[in-house]
A and B are shown apart, each in its own frame.
Chain A
Amino acid sequence: MKLMWFHLMPYTELPDDFRDKNPSVWVDIHSSLFDPKRAHLMYNDFMDELEYAAQCGFDAICVNEHHSNGYGLMPSPNLIASSLARRTTDTAICVMGNSLALYNPPTRVAEEFAMIDCISGGRLIAGFPVGSPMDTCYAYGQNPSILRDRYHEAHDLVVKAWTESDTFAFNGRFNQQRYVNIWPRPIQHPHPPIWVPGGGSVETWQWCAEMDYVYCYLSYYGYKVGRATMDGFWNEMSRLGKDRNPYRAGFLQFVGVGESRQHAMDLYGESAEYFYGKCLHIDPRFAAPPGYTTEATQRMGLESQVSKAASYADKFNKLAREMDAIVDNGYVIIGSPDEVAEQLREVATNLNVGHLMLLLQFGNMSKDLTRYNTKLFADQVMPKLKDHFPGWEDRWWPQPMATGQRAEVPAFMPKLAAE
């Protein structure tokens, strides 16, 4: 199986009384809480951490897109990904992803992803989320009633821009362009693998099956809550006559590795409580713009992941924010390397997920602790999981240029002050 290292890039210095004094971490979080000079250090730490994860041997490093968000400092994940493309050599770069309906024209996504694919020598995974309600409808003002149609049209345009060799006119419902002809073109043929992060919408499952794309469930609530969604996904796949290749799916899981379970509890408690207490403090009024959740999904009795988060926070206000409950509920998997490996093997098996996206930095976790968690995982957990799912082919993984053909990227050597 594939083990992928994911960074959300949370602002790590939200005040202790953040929950009491602020209605939401997202959309209307106050600018006075953001110190750009502190963010300078955070960004550089975070990028160091992603590069370190690549060095440690993770199969991919992952970034994502959020707007007006105190736990996600990447309005443009492409900026981070382009830097990572220069500072890593063999690791896949997973941009998870670009919310297609937010780009005008959407050919911008085709261009930027093609650039990253070229710079990295063909290592890009192209993620296409619809985007959360907070990001798309509130922070970016997109119409919730039109968002999904726009998303699908933008997808069609991007794929055509990648694959059509001649200049063409695009006569869409929402986008009209007389001359579509992107330069550069992606290295990967016919285009970088497309992965689709989604909540629990039936239509998304069906679409991924139809298009042969990877479906990713990026839940902050761990494997116990994720089980129902992934079961729904696999049931739909078998209904549609698709095989159970685990590489059709991706799943996000928080993990903290220590010498023992207690050691891990002590090490990661503060960071986990910071994330679940402050970073998921989302005002429910931004969770459910009408039209965002399709009527078919409403009928299925499913809510979007985010409205679940908001109502969950309402319902189990205290429980879910304390480390014991966070671990008991399965939000974060902790333990010794052996214990973590055992649990993750079980998660991968039960959810039938071949692409495990790991949050080994979360909340206000320091750079030192992040490196410790990452290294311990790479050295002692990863070897126990690598061979899981033998016999299945990952048809959705990047196909980079051969190593010998790729540019030599000179190592970055800052001048030391002493020199």
Chain B
Amino acid sequence: MSELETLTVDVNGFATRVWRKGSGPKLGFLAGFGGLPRWVPFLDELAKSRTVIVPSLPGFPGGDRGHSVLDTHLDWLLAVRDLLARAELDGADMAGSSVGASLVAEMAALWPASVRRLALIAPFGLFDEADPPTDPWAQRGDAVPGLMCADPEIWKALKAVPEGANSIEWPIEQTRANEAAARIFWPLGNTRLEKRLKLIQAPTLLIWGEKDGVIPRSYAERFAKDISGKSDTKMITGAGHLAELDKPGEVAAAIIDWTN
């Protein structure tokens, strides 16, 4: 397994971080709510058998203030399309979590040739009045860790200020990640992705944390029903919304298995 490389690509004039590690066929990953302020064990699991490539989404950690020029949904989709091409992920297998999963699904719907096989972990993008997602932006600060992960300590460790980091800029960057997610998904998380799911031809694995407190499990069925490509759903016991953080080994194994 090769060492972790940190590359920078330009998206709309913003320097955007791309992580790359491992060997073997490429596998892209777009992070979920809150982004990835630091490398996580889940990515090491993927890198054991694949070249894992992790571009930062605009406004998320590593994505500078790239969100600030994206005013419409089309702006977002074109920025992500550009980002994936610059990260050399055109035509690769793609995985995504939460907000990132929603954008991976969009790429597969609109540019079918740009992805091979898909793995989506609890994507944003739909809204069912009878079973609404939890509002992640109307939470007391102390409720967020337990909302994102089944084990709140995992989220806290992800977001803790590392030794030597700028103690002012670090929290601003974490708030910016929540803002960027809000910019595309406020207020309901509904981007009308439902209308585009039928365009997805790629074989798609849906992964859901059994304890996901953000996106109801019923949404897995809605995705599975509307996606045109073949699909399968895997529940991860003991995992919350960001299942890849709670159960890195299991989630990575499911993705590797699906995309091999």
Contact = CB atoms under 8 A, between A and B. Distances in A.
Interface of A: 137-138, 141, 143-146, 173-174, 284-286, 289-291, 295, 298-299
Contacts of B139: 285
Closest 5 CB pairs of A and B: A291-B179, A290-B178, A145-B183, A290-B179, A143-B186
B175 A290 contact: yes
Given A144-B182, A173-B71, A284-B140, A295 B176 contact: yes
**Main secondary structure on chain B at its contact with chain A?**
helix
Interface of B: 67-68, 71, 137-141, 143, 168, 171-172, 175-176, 178-183, 186-187
Given A137-B186, A143-B183, A145-B180, 8 more contacts: A145-B68, A145-B182, A146-B183, A174-B71, A290-B181, A290-B182, A291-B179, A299-B168
A141 B181 CA distance: 15
Contacts of A174: 71
B186 A145 contact: yes
6 contacts: A138-B138, A143-B186, A145-B68, A145-B182, A291-B175, A291-B183
Given A145-B67, A174-B71, A286-B138, A295 B183 contact: no
Nearest to B169: A299
B175 A298 contact: yes
Contacts of A289: 137-138, 182
Contacts of A173: 71
**Main secondary structure on chain A at its contact with chain B?**
loop
A298 B179 contact: no
Nearest to B187: A141
B26 to A, nearest CB: 31
A295 B172 contact: yes
Contacts of A138: 138
A284 to B, nearest CB: 6
A285 B135 CA distance: 10
A173 B75 CA distance: 13
Given A289-B182, A290-B182, A291-B183, A298 B172 contact: yes
Contacts of A137: 186-187
A299 B172 contact: yes
Contacts of B68: 145
Contacts of B179: 144-145, 290-291
A74 B141 CA distance: 30
Nearest to A173: B71
Contacts of A143: 182-183, 186-187
A289 B186 CA distance: 10
B140 A285 contact: yes
A272 B66 CA distance: 46
A407 B186 CA distance: 48
B137 A290 contact: yes
Contacts of A290: 137, 175-176, 178-179, 181-182
A276 B178 CA distance: 31
A290 B137 CA distance: 7
A227 B224 CA distance: 58
A174 B70 CA distance: 12
B180 to A, nearest CB: 7
A175 to B, nearest CB: 12
B138 A291 contact: no
A199 B225 CA distance: 48
A140 to B, nearest CB: 9
